[in-house]
């Protein structure tokens, strides 16, 4: 099996705490990690209690993981140590549901109670009763939401509240619930506003509904996960030194916290999150737009590896049936070249725009020697002797913010006098179309000068809670505003977010 540079980094790097691996389906995220397992077993499961957990979202993925893992036995570089007898019992591949079931049964046994999962009919009946009880409390000032016509809306909101582990009214009232658009034909707010009567009423219904089920020794799926989480926090039977969480973009906060409670943090331990980009949003998932790993206690700055190249489109049906060998999922990358060397930036005439002086230059890079630059002076190509190498980092969003990391993807040479006196410069690849009115398009590269005190109307690169975006810097009503240069996008107003100005754009390399 052939791996690219980033896949090899995943396989060969030493475990170092939390890590995010993201990319589209077929980019080799999961397969790369499974190829790392032998190294973890042989070198980083030192103590008797050290174990590895690979968490799958369903049985189909679990079978797929097992299939890939077994096929690694034939890989030449792992043949001698892959199935060491002493370590073979240190690996567990389990579904999330099996972990929840395990700790729920432990809770039932320890508390000597009998609990069963409520049927749909039972849940609906108890929810209707709860709505009726809460409605009586409000009498004439009853919120419009307390209506049986809206039972499905209320039910979905209760699932979300429990999935987020909001056990107190204050937590729910202050929670960011942007995007909870209702489909009700009544004149109520289209968003459940913070500290509103609507939220208070729904939370009271939740409490009554849960109590109703409890009197019947019944629980719903969200209760199962909450009870399992609490039991795992009290006394986990098994702690895992290394945890791999696939499809983390689909998981609820309770599910993610369950894995955190099972993590046995050591100097050589690791917890790895896999995230599919461009995945359709899953109801009740925690890591959605506007929600970051920092909300779970993980600072992902410098802890993210992005895999952007798809080797093969992987369909769910393929995974559920799993293939005969893992090399059918990742094909040989015949164009495995340097990121910039394989792009148009190293071929033909290239345009560089000085954003501060609004001057455009044309230059040519020798494809055989990326450090050699020729500038076009009146149709005469003149070699530039004094060049500066600029580090190239991960993509930056000219659109919705994307996760950033501190890995240097490459370096790129430009004439030193074009950069002028700017120190500490770096480059970022643009992703998205929010800055097109400033002639900054998807695939362009921006040259950034590190500084944290921009001027009004500067184009700035900003880190917002671990995500980077490129926007025009302004101040509106005393608040920092990041303005897109495309009417499709709304300004980003910096309020209580953690943010850091990475620098100011001083140059632009056009991808054309």
E strand segments, 416-456: 425-431, 445-449
Contacts of 300 (CB under 8 A, 6+ apart): 18, 20, 292, 293, 294, 403, 405, 466
179 marked ligand binding residue:
no
29 marked ligand binding residue:
yes
30 marked ligand binding residue:
yes
- Whether the CB-CB separation of 2 and 333 falls below 8 Å is answered with yes
- Whether the CB-CB separation of 490 and 401 falls below 8 Å is answered with no
432 marked ligand binding residue:
no
Contacts of 363 (CB under 8 A, 6+ apart): 349, 350, 352, 373, 374, 375, 376, 384, 415
Nearest alpha carbon to residue 503 among 476, 481, 475, 470: 470
25 marked ligand binding residue:
yes
- Whether the CB-CB separation of 392 and 421 falls below 8 Å is answered with no
Tell me the two tokens of residue 235.
Answer: 């006394």
74 marked ligand binding residue:
no
Based on its alpha-carbon atoms, the radius of gyration of the chain, rounded to whole angstroms, reads 27
474 marked ligand binding residue:
no
Nearest alpha carbon to residue 65 among 26, 102, 94: 94
23 marked ligand binding residue:
yes
Active site residues: 434, 471
The C-alpha atoms of residue 212 and residue 204 are separated, in whole angstroms, by 12
Residues of the binding site for ATP: 23-30
Residues of the binding site: 23-30
């Amino acid at each position: 099996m052939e791996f690219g540079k980033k896949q090899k980094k995943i396989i060969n790097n030493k475990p170092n705490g939390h890590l995010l691996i993201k990319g589209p389906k077929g980019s080799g995220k999961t397969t790369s990690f499974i190829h790392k397992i032998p190294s973890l077993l042989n070198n980083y499961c030192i103590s008797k209690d050290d174990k590895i957990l690979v968490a799958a979202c369903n049985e189909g993925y679990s079978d797929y993981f097992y299939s890939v893992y077994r096929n690694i036995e034939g890989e030449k570089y792992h043949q001698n140590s892959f199935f060491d007898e002493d370590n073979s019992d240190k690996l567990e591949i389990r579904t999330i549901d099996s972990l929840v079931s395990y700790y729920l049964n432990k809770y039932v046994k320890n508390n000597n109670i009998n609990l069963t999962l409520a049927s749909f009919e039972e849940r609906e009946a108890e929810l209707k009763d709860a709505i009726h009880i809460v409605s009586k409390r409000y009498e004439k000032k009853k919120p419009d939401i307390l209506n049986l016509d809206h039972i499905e809306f209320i039910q979905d909101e209760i699932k979300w509240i429990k999935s987020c582990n909001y056990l107190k009214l204050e937590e729910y009232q202050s929670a960011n619930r942007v995007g909870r658009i209702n489909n009700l034909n009544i004149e109520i707010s289209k968003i459940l506003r913070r500290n509103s009567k609507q939220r208070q009423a729904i939370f009271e219904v939740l409490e009554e509904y849960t109590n109703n089920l409890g009197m019947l020794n019944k629980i719903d799926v969200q209760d199962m996960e909450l009870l399992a989480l609490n039991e795992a926090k009290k006394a986990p039977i098994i702690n895992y030194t290394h945890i791999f969480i696939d499809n983390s973009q689909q998981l609820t906060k309770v599910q993610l916290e369950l894995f955190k409670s099972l993590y046995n943090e050591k100097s050589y331990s690791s917890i790895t999150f896999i995230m599919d980009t461009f995945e359709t949003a899953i109801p009740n998932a925690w890591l959605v737009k506007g929600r970051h790993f920092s909300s779970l206690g993980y600072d992902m700055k410098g802890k993210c590896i992005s895999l952007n190249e798809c080797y093969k489109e992987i369909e769910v049906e393929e995974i559920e049936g799993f293939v005969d060998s893992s090399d059918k999922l990742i094909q040989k990358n015949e164009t495995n070249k340097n990121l910039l060397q394989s792009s148009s930036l190293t071929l033909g005439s290239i345009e560089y725009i000085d954003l501060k002086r609004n001057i455009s230059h044309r230059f040519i890079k020798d494809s055989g020697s990326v450090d050699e630059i020729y500038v076009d002076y009146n149709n005469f190509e003149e070699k530039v002797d004094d060049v500066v190498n600029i580090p190239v980092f991960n993509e930056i969003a000219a659109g919705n913010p994307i996760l950033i990391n501190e890995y240097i993807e490459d370096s790129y040479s430009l004439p030193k006098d074009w950069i002028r006196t700017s120190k500490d410069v770096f480059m970022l690849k643009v992703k998205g179309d929010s800055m097109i009115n400033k002639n900054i398009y998807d695939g362009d590269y921006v040259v950034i000068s590190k500084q944290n005190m921009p001027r009004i109307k500067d184009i700035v690169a900003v880190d917002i809670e671990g995500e980077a975006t490129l926007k025009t810097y302004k101040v509106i009503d005393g608040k920092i505003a990041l303005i897109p240069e495309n009417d499709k996008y709304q300004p980003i107003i910096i309020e209580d977010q953690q943010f850091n100005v990475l620098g100011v754009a001083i140059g632009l390399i056009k991808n054309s």
